[in-house]
Amino acid sequence: MNSSTLNSNAEQTIDSEEARDLRNTLLYAGIITIGLSVMILATSPLVISLQIPPMETTLLALCSAIVSVLGIYGLQRGWPIKAISWTSLTAYAIIITMTIHYTGGPLTPMPALYLLVVVAASFLLGRQGATIIAFVSVVSYALMLLLEYLGVIKMVLIWDITFEPQTRGALLIINWLAVAIPTLITSQLAGVLAERLKETNAELIESERMQNSLTHMIIHDLRNPITAVTGSLDLLLMTLGDKMNGDQRNLLKNAQHSGKMLLGLVGELLDINKMEAGKFELHLEPVNICKLVAQNTEAMRAAAELEGQNLEITACSTETVINCDPQLISRVISNLLTNAFKYTPEGGAITSKVEREGEEVVISVIDTGPGIPPKYRDHIFEKFGQVKQDGPRQGTGLGLTLCKMAARAHGGDIWVESEVGKGSTFAFSLPIVGPSDAKVEF
């Protein structure tokens, strides 16, 4: 038997959320860079007329596109995000310096691109990372100016300006300071901002976690007294029920029914809360899913006959064994069947079905009840989500939430197809192989 805890480590949850955020930011940054590179490529004919070497600028645009594509490929393949961020941002800083050289050097507003790289670095690598990337940028820029000044590399001039060597030197230093100071200041400001955002995020996660554990404690403490009350009522009815008059017995039966409903509600809340907090354990084992559906449906047959409802089981075409938590999946099937009974009027038909579709099985419960209007079809899977109707509420609005979480925890999904006035089909899918520790999440 295999047992896996869902999101058991809170630290891991924060890490994975952070990793997801970083991944998305980097993906967007990468896509934008590709866009910019393509733009530069497309405007090459224009730069030719400005006497900028089109070959070199085109090559640099290609380099930047390759860095982006490699970064995105690495993200998809699960390469370490920090390593991708360091490599691509350092590469971007150097490519920008070379682009500045080939597109007019200090005479253009190109150095402003360093600010973009530094801001991206602060969010992806933190304040320290942003400082290092800012240094890489300004040092490579200084080196470029120096080599141009010494004549080692030829300065590309887009305007016909010539200065005396001394004036040129002074101007280059001023230009370097005008680029270096804002770049370094931006790295610090953006770094502080990124750190604050991270702290706020961590505080929010922590307060949500505390709220969840408090709710869990309250709900857990409610269960014991309610169990005691319903147990005592059961005993009272069993031992003294015969000696009571009809009204007294009805009163006690009502109290017993309400107590059981309350117990069910507390149990569901407790489970949903556990799943949300990542403390719910899946006990996975090979299960004959057709048998499980048939058992649950059979268990409902007596109740169905009492209500005058026709209950059918469409036999499985093949015996399918899947890897799942039989108790949890039993609850899902039973919840869907109970709902079908609850909402289908007398004389209606309810069918349960198991079908194999590729690498998964789909379990459906079909009824001839009132159906669900389109605007409620997503809402009913949310906590306390119910179809608005006249009269007293029939349930808690938690059953389908639990079903959705259970299906998703197994790597499957749940959905409803419905026609108002004709009936509904609630179906959920489960992968045949079942979840692995890594895949389990809500």
- 3-state SS assignment for residue 245: coil
Residue closer to ligand ADP, measured from CB, 168 or 379: 379
Write the single-letter amino acid at 19. A
Does position 215 interact with ligand ADP (CB under 6 A)? The reply is no
Minimum distance from residue 335 beta carbon to ligand ADP (Å): 6
Closest listed residue to residue 198, CA positions, set 378, 73, 22, 42: 22
CA distance 293 to 404: 17
Q: With CB under 6 A, what is the number of residues at the site for ligand ADP?
A: 21
Q: Where are the alpha helices (DSSP H) in 43-153?
A: 44-49, 54-76, 81-102, 113-149
Classify the C-alpha dihedral 159-162-166-167 as positive or negative.
negative
Contact region for ligand ADP (CB under 6 A) — 91-99, 104-112, 130-138, 391-399?
391-399
The helix or strand, by DSSP H or E, that contains position 415, with its residue range, turns out to be: strand 413-419
Minimum distance from residue 399 beta carbon to ligand ADP (Å): 3
Selected binder of ligand ADP within 107, 237, 313, 387 (CB under 6 A): 387
CA distance 171 to 216: 67
Paired tokens of 162 = 């010539």
CA distance 286 to 263: 30
Minimum distance from residue 265 beta carbon to ligand ADP (Å): 9
The gap from C-alpha 232 to its chain's centroid, in whole angstroms, comes to: 45
The helix or strand, by DSSP H or E, that contains position 206, with its residue range, turns out to be: helix 165-240
- DSSP secondary structure code for residue 163 in this structure: -
Does position 67 interact with ligand ADP (CB under 6 A)? The reply is no
Does position 367 interact with ligand ADP (CB under 6 A)? The reply is yes
Residue closer to ligand ADP, measured from CB, 330 or 339: 339
Residue closer to ligand ADP, measured from CB, 172 or 372: 372
Cβ neighbourhood burial of 86 (10 Å; 0-12, 13-18, 19+): middle
CA distance 146 to 173: 9
Minimum distance from residue 338 beta carbon to ligand ADP (Å): 8
Phi then psi dihedrals of residue 36, to 5 deg = -65, -40
Contact region for ligand ADP (CB under 6 A) — 105-113, 177-185, 323-331, 378-386?
378-386
Does position 339 interact with ligand ADP (CB under 6 A)? The reply is yes
Residue closer to ligand ADP, measured from CB, 54 or 264: 264
Does position 351 interact with ligand ADP (CB under 6 A)? The reply is no
Vertex 423: Cα angle to 421 and 425 (nearest 5): 150
Selected binder of ligand ADP within 278, 348, 370, 434 (CB under 6 A): 370
Selected binder of ligand ADP within 26, 47, 124, 380 (CB under 6 A): 380
Selected binder of ligand ADP within 372, 406, 430, 440 (CB under 6 A): 372
The helix or strand, by DSSP H or E, that contains position 362, with its residue range, turns out to be: strand 360-367
Which residue number places its CB atom closest to ligand ADP?
A: 395
Minimum distance from residue 201 beta carbon to ligand ADP (Å): 31
Residue closer to ligand ADP, measured from CB, 23 or 353: 353
Residue closer to ligand ADP, measured from CB, 164 or 390: 390
Selected binder of ligand ADP within 36, 270, 396, 408 (CB under 6 A): 396
Does position 337 interact with ligand ADP (CB under 6 A)? The reply is no
Helices (H) and strands (E) in the chain, counts: 10, 8
CA distance 325 to 373: 32
Count CB atoms within 10 A of the CB of residue 100. 24
78: left (phi over 0), alpha (psi -120 to 50) or beta: left
Does position 400 interact with ligand ADP (CB under 6 A)? The reply is yes
Minimum distance from residue 391 beta carbon to ligand ADP (Å): 12
Minimum distance from residue 233 beta carbon to ligand ADP (Å): 22
Residues between 245 and 274 that touch ligand ADP (CB under 6 A): none
Q: Which residues make up the interface to ligand ADP (CB under 6 A)?
A: 335, 339-340, 343, 367, 369-370, 372, 380, 385-387, 394-401, 424
